[in-house]
A = this chain, B = another copy of it.
Amino acid sequence: MRILLVNPNMTVSMTEAMTTIARTVAEGRAEIVPLTATKGFPYIASRAEAQIAAGIVLEMIAQNLNGIDAVVIAAFGDPGLSGARELFDLPVVGMAEAAVMSAAMLGERFSVVTFSPLMTRWYADCVAGTGLSGRFTGVRTPVTREVDVCHVASDLRADLIALANVAVREDGADVVILGGAPLAGLAPEIASDVPAIVIDPIAAAVAQAITLSSLGAGFSGRACKPAAKSSVGLAGALSKIIAMEAAQ
């Protein structure tokens, strides 16, 4: 099977780091097809940016559906996820949702540890959106807001380990999610320094994409699909899919 890994951020080095992890998780089970946004932002970090990215994600998926069995949206806020699930007849997995759902099946209460306090409210809302706030112990971040997203995993490594330990000892988490694409790959490196299960969201998302595909669910006859629609100004592939909905 082939998984389209859509990075809604424009930073190619992030896509590369996530692809490496994705390929490790998927080894022997799935091929990873990485894709980096060529419109939008270097790194999405607000609701406004995520709203703009949602439309870009839908276009990226529509243009690259050929031969694909499942899609991973590789940004922690899951931009475009609910729309993509309506439009495309295959499993679409969001990094945050997959991390949260996996955490809830591995332990009892999970924390999100990330690199900047600017993410706290948005990430907390992501968790609330999944419905699992009742098992969420909150977001822990360093106090400094300004970070270099390309080197944050190494720059803040010690802080993130310390924050994960606080999440376990003080907040009562037994699973820690390292939130945000810039932290991709850090989980296995620090796992032995944290007295809890540590989750890498991109690994969780790829594993969930494989799992959901393996269930063999049939998508084409779904009653919930939007009616066919004409549109103006959309990328051709996306416009075509939206115009075809009624045929299915």
A residues near B (Cβ < 8 Å) are 10, 25, 29, 38-42, 45-52, 54-56, 58, 80, 82-87, 91, 93, 97-98, 101-102, 104-109, 118, 120-121, 128, 130-135, 145, 168-169, 172, 174, 188, 191-192, 194-200, 203-204, 207-208, 210-212, 214-219, 221-224, 226-227, 229-234, 238, 242
Give the Cβ gap from A16 to chain B, nearest Cβ, in Å: 19
CB closest residue in chain B, given A84: B48
Pick the contact of A197 from B54, B194, B197, B222 — CB < 8 Å?
B222
Contacts A38-B233, A120-B172 aside, 19 further interface pairs with beta carbons under 8 A come to A25-B214, A39-B233, A40-B232, A41-B230, A42-B229, A46-B83, A46-B229, A47-B86, A48-B58, A48-B87, A49-B226, A49-B229, A49-B242, A56-B233, A106-B212, A174-B222, A174-B223, A191-B218, A199-B217
A79 to B45, CA, bound (A): 19
Pick the contact of A231 from B40, B58, B222 — CB < 8 Å?
B40
Given contacts A52-B234, A107-B224, A242-B48, contact A102 B211 (CB under 8 A): yes
Give the Cβ gap from A57 to chain B, nearest Cβ, in Å: 8
Given contacts A118-B227, A192-B221, contact A52 B212 (CB under 8 A): no
B86 near A106: Cβ-Cβ < 8 Å: no
